[in-house]
Amino acid sequence: MIYQNAMVFGPDFRFHKGGFAVEGGRFSRVLTVGEAEGTDLGGLYVVPGFIDVHNHGNSGKDFSDGDDEGLKTLARYLAKNGVTSFAPASVTLPESQLKTAYESAARFAKAAPAGCAVLRGIHMEGPFFSEKKKGAQNGAYLQNPNYEMFLRLNEAAEGLIKIADVAPELPGAIEYIEKVSKICAVSIAHTDANYDQSKAAIAAGVTHITHLFNAMPSFLHRAPGVVGAAAESPWVIAELICDGQHVHESVVRAAFSMFGADRLCLISDALSCCGMPKGEYELGGQKIILDGTVARLADAPDTLAGSANNLFGIFRLALSFGIPAEAAVRMASETPARALGVADEVGSITNGKRADFLVLNGDFSLNRVYLAGSALTEN
């Protein structure tokens, strides 16, 4: 199949007028204007399918529930909303419950059901977190870093853990980082670490920061903390919940200036209440209340539990906050693909990669979703 007359987001992270060909579910040729006849896309934008590296759920379903049908439901919702690949995030729970969820992820990844976003890995968020910065993580299940537990869970997941979170100030954290970083990306998260502790963690192997600014010390001129340590380490990629509530839009622009599109991942941090009406839901055994597009703990209403927006909605907000379109597209596609270690398969419109792409209208609203070169029948 050949597609022509589009503004195609190229591997140089710029839009170019032209087209592309898809064969066997993969991009086979990127075409110049008038090079071949094909489906006319009417000058619309074409971008790689978006990749959410931090997503707990939607449609009333939570990945950590370990429900096979629930995982399929949430992956179908993601695809419908322009997220073609994802790494579901677990929460702080007992090992037995995490094992059930991870086994479900492994089954889903092998089955690869039609019409669903592709599960590219697991984001292990918890349980190795600081009590002081636990946020909406369930404090009853927090523990110190445990490498053997990580190995057991990764075995249950059949090697799918791609990002593993840890608070680097906890006992044994540096040794944990040194070992786990040889298997997957290690991320600083839910931490009270200072600048020196964060630098030590980065030196030990950390390459990722979970929801920058949230659940960590503030970035202060005499105490730069995690943010300062990460900003000056050019190999570290940071997530950003760009919803205007977890992070103020001014700070979104500041983070973009500090890190750039090649080091910032837009994430949703969406909970089971995403795509659902206002009301009461659950996260890791705790009640949460959805009001609008943000959820809070029921017994601590000042504590944000997570987002109720999908990644495409986060992308649109980033544009409204002044992030350039080409940068925002990269932050939702190529950068997260690198963070997950799957940039050789997805994340850009490049010959040989899986043809997951989005057709966007002139205002960057979603027009159509394609998975492996086939249009979703329901959008």
Within a 10 A sphere around the Cβ of 299, how many other Cβ atoms? 10
Task: Count Cα neighbours of 327 within 13 Å in the Cβ-side half-sphere.
Answer: 18
Inter-residue contact 270 to 239 (CB < 8 Å): no
Name the residue type at position 165: D
Nearest Cα to Cα of residue 243 among 305, 301, 193, 186: 305
Inter-residue contact 129 to 163 (CB < 8 Å): no
* Residue 269 falls in the annotated catalytic set: yes
Q: Which of 269, 291, 356, 363 is catalytic?
A: 269
Beta bridge partners of 16: 8
Cα 271 from Cα 65, distance rounded (Å):
12
Cα 353 from Cα 344, distance rounded (Å):
7
Sequence-ordered list of residues with C-beta below 8 angstroms from that of 323, at least 6 positions apart, any chain: 242, 252, 253, 256, 331
CA angle 132, 310, 291 (to 5 degrees): 65
Q: Provide the annotated active-site residues.
A: 269
